[in-house]
Amino acid sequence: MLPAYLPNPVAALTGGGTPVDFGRNYADGRRIFGDGKTWRGLIVGILAGVGIGTIQILAAGAYGISFLPGLTLLSVILLATGALLGDIVKSFFKRRCGVERGARWPIADQYDLLAGSFLLLLIFDPAWLFSEVTLPAFVIILILTPILHRVVNIIGFAIKVKEVPW
Ligand code: CTP
Ligand code: MG
């Protein structure tokens, strides 16, 4: 799951500059996505996810690792892209509900990356999804994701990369 997990923290580390919505508002007068979603964060985050996934593919080949899901270039791209697309779609609905940028929005904040990655896999590579992500693996992912999300955000807050510990 590293290709899906890495893009968010990398976006937080490298983000800034032009917002994805170019500062524009939606029909309701609120921002489309808000200043927390930038092009730099999006692009560098996705590249980081694809990069770590490529290293995992090479490492699995070099060391004959067969007990982990066999990543492919396509699955890695879908995991990384879906993670940050899910994050952006989440922010769209967060703004529509009048929740400010950076404010806490439980469940959606923790599961947006999974919803995005699994939806892209379901659409573009369902064969990989159903053969590699077994039910026990899926359950572990569901439990592990919010825990990792919390731990990484507390670290991000402590090292002053994030303004809030969530
Ligand atoms: N970030 C970015 N570009 C993205 C995603 C994240 O630049 N596509 C950066 C922003 O600096 C953002 C930080 O990572 O503030 C943390 O991301 P996140 O918690 O998802 O954003 P929030 O600021 O909480 O905004 P929102 O309320 O819209 O989720
Ligand atoms: Mg946030």
pTM of the model: 0.97
Asked if residues 12 and 162 have their Cβ atoms less than 8 Å apart, the reply is: yes
As for ligand 1, residues whose beta carbon falls within 6 Å of it are 11-12, 15, 34, 36-38, 41-42, 84, 87, 91, 94, 101-102
Answer for the pair 21, 31: CB distance below 8 angstroms, yes or no. Answer: yes
User: Could you give the CA distance from residue 72 to residue 66 in angstroms, rounded to a whole number?
Assistant: 13
Residue nearest to atom 17 of ligand 1 (CA): 12
Chain segment 58-113, per-residue pLDDT in tens: 999 999 988 888 999 999 999 999 999 999 999 999 999 999 999 999 999 999 99
CB atoms within 10 A of CB 82: 28
Contact 95, 31 (CB under 8 A): yes
Among 87, 94, 96, 159, the mutation site with the greatest number of ligand 1 atoms within 8 A of its Cβ is 87
**Atom 4 (ligand 1) nearest CA:** 37
pLDDT, position 67: 85
- Alpha carbons 45 and 80: distance in angstroms, whole number: 8
